[in-house]
Amino acid sequence: MPKIKTNSGAKKRFALTGTGKIKRKHAYKSHILTKKTKKQKRNLT
């Protein structure tokens, strides 16, 4: 059987760390940041 292709959307959005964990970008951190608290923004990283 052929190998299964990686989902091309997931390929662009997720990254593996050295220990094998998955890194991803959180939503709500691109614009209108002035009304969000420091705590909110920090928790979205």
Return the domain boundaries, the chain. Answer: 8-43
| pLDDT score for 7 | 95
pLDDT in tens, 2-43: 999 999 999 999 999 999 999 999 999 999 999 999 999 999
Q: Which residue has the tokens 């928790």?
A: 43
Q: What is the per-residue pLDDT for 38?
A: 97
- Half-sphere CA count of 43, side-chain side, radius 13 A: 5
pLDDT band at 45 (very low <50, low <70, confident <90, very high): confident
Instruction: Provide the CA 45 distance to its chain's centre, in angstroms.
Output: 9
Closest CA to 29 of 37, 20, 18: 37
pLDDT value at position 11?
Answer: 94
Separation of alpha carbons 41 and 24, rounded Å: 15
pTM of the model: 0.58
